[in-house]
Amino acid sequence: MQGILFTLDNIIHSDGFVIGYYIFTVATSLILIKETKQRALDLVKGAKSMVYAPIPFGIMIAYFLFAYPLAEKIPILNWSWLGYNIAFGPFAKDGFWGVLPFVPLLIYMFIHINHAEELYFRKSKKMVLIWAFTHIAMGIKVHMVLLLIPIGFLFKYIYDKKGINHSYAMHFMTNILVVAALFFTLTR
């Protein structure tokens, strides 16, 4: 049994598997290419709520400053099948140059995936929780999923008060801030 798990672990962490999984995640967005113009219009309609993006981003910063070092020490919370978010590209573990070539695709994916997330996962509190936990499939650590729960409820609050275009625009801008912060940390 241990030999099977070791082999499965080797497969999952192989470059070929990670590249294939990344292609699969990008392909789901490429299927929606005809929707790109509408998604851009939706972002414009919700643009006023982009000003709220620093709130979830601030929650993330506070988490990284105060809770992240502790969460990293708890094995079950530190678990991830990949160790980073596959959306950053199959070579994100290689740092700045592993992420940079994939940024245009990442932003394109945000345009479509963020809208789908707001459309399907903000309808109820239960769906917000499911949204947070689906990020495990993207390779993030369990403690990062826990961080996403209050952020998801913040997106739901905007969704309930102002509608999908506003929560979508806020979510999109939050992710842009995350990418900017990632580049800042990778270039230091």
The 10s digit of each residue's pLDDT in 90-125 is 888 888 888 888 999 999 999 999 999 999 999 999
Which H helix or E strand runs over 79? Answer: none
Between residues 99 and 170, the one the model is more confident about:
170
Task: Give yes or no for residue 146 having a pLDDT over 80.
Answer: yes
Per DSSP, 61 falls in state H
Tell me how far apart the alpha carbons of residues 92 and 78 are, in angstroms, rounded to a whole number: 18
Tell me how far apart the alpha carbons of residues 136 and 82 are, in angstroms, rounded to a whole number: 9
The pLDDT assigned to 2 comes to 53
> Given the structure tokens 């509608």, which residue do they identify?
163
The 10s digit of each residue's pLDDT in 7-29 is 656 666 677 778 888 888 888 89
Closest listed residue to residue 183, CA positions, set 104, 103, 80: 103
pTM here is 0.89
The rounded radius of gyration (Å) of the Cα atoms in the chain is 17
The pLDDT assigned to 4 comes to 55
The share of the chain scoring above pLDDT 90, in percent, equals 69
Please state, in angstroms and as integers, the Cα–Cα distance from residue 123 to each residue in 39, 116, 130, 132, 160, following that order. 19, 12, 11, 14, 8
Closest listed residue to residue 170, CA positions, set 60, 25, 42, 84: 42
In 21-103, the DSSP E strands lie at none
